[in-house]
A = this chain, B = another copy of it.
């Protein structure tokens, strides 16, 4: 499993496309974005008070106040063009300032109003000294020109969009969403819409859930439909899907049994072909990883629960990789103590579904064919390859489903 995660690294990456900020949440920048100019772009006050020359306040105190001449007021809002030179703070002078106001020329600090008093018309008393820069945001304090605003490869977060908007960057080059075509195979599989089933028929449970996980991982799911258990039919639809897919997912058909046709079909599809078939993971052993004509292909186990477990562990990172995401966002996780022993075979990674209550993780057991074990679970625990099981009471990390 570790080898599959680290070793199967298809080279395919989706191209860049320009994306307006309003649609850019969680999208992956294809290149770093830098500040076109200084931010905020002008020095501003961070407090309500008086813009001063700091040197004019040195040594003042409650017992020995300083007195400055009030020579003007900066109003909130933009400076009307042509008026900027009008306000200048000369030595011995002060100009009243609102929070966020533009620092007038000459001033290098703002004294908070709390430390001042207007003693007579045109004169204020200052009882605390300020250092240069105090009470002020520098013109380039949020970003210097050319400073990195967002890195490539990390999905954009809400605050990244705020920063880009502040800098006037309204379009970001992002990786196109990987188009992930999802096929289900099996003569017994019918669409979820089927109202009455014959014995032996099952509704396609995997496709809609795999599509959801693709979307969560930043991909664009493309429904491939249900393909009958007929190798040439499967080969034809896969071949047809290759040109418009960045990743192909086939659920069922990869169990090692009478219907194991997927491997043969994938082998014929294009070079370099199958990377591995069978992974030391439970559930999910009969998983297939391949690359055909530059398109990664994942063959998932036949039963929906195994398919979903494997896709979360192997498929989601592949969708992110192809979509240029090099810094995947973290998954929610909690630490909890195991309610009971969990056996496992060394050399095999086990994925155990658990419910978590009050810091205790209770494993849910059940046949790998049961979806109810997954829907009842809050999350899952991984028993690593090297472990031969975990004892009751062991503190484990539970990845929580969202």
Contact = CB atoms under 8 A, between A and B. Distances in A.
Interface of A: 21-22, 25-26, 39-42, 44, 46, 48, 76-81, 84, 98-102, 137, 141-143, 149-150, 155, 157-170, 186-188, 192-195, 197-213, 215-216, 223, 229, 255, 257-259, 302-305, 308, 312, 329-335, 366-372, 374-375, 377, 400-402
A205 B163 contact: yes
A85 to B, nearest CB: 11
B304 A166 contact: yes
Nearest to A206: B162
A137 B208 contact: no
Contact of A332 (B44, B169, B332, B374): B332
The SS class assigned to the A binding surface is: loop
A193 B170 contact: yes
Nearest to A187: B77
B46 A166 contact: no
A191 to B, nearest CB: 9
Contacts of A150: 375
Contacts of A258: 76, 98
Contact of A199 (B42, B187, B259, B375): B42
20 contacts: A26-B402, A77-B229, A79-B198, A101-B200, A102-B199, A137-B369, A141-B372, A157-B402, A158-B210, A161-B208, A161-B209, A161-B212, A163-B374, A163-B375, A166-B304, A167-B203, A329-B332, A329-B400, A330-B400, A332-B332
A402 B159 CA distance: 10
A46 B305 CA distance: 13
A48 B187 CA distance: 18
Contact of A162 (B157, B162, B205, B368): B205
Given A77-B229, A141-B367, A402-B155, A21 B168 contact: no
Given A194-B168, A208-B22, A102 B200 contact: yes
Given A22-B211, A142-B372, A40 B165 contact: no
Given A44-B369, A162-B205, A162-B371, 16 more contacts: A25-B216, A41-B199, A98-B258, A149-B375, A155-B402, A157-B375, A158-B401, A159-B308, A163-B205, A163-B371, A165-B204, A165-B207, A166-B203, A166-B304, A167-B203, A332-B333
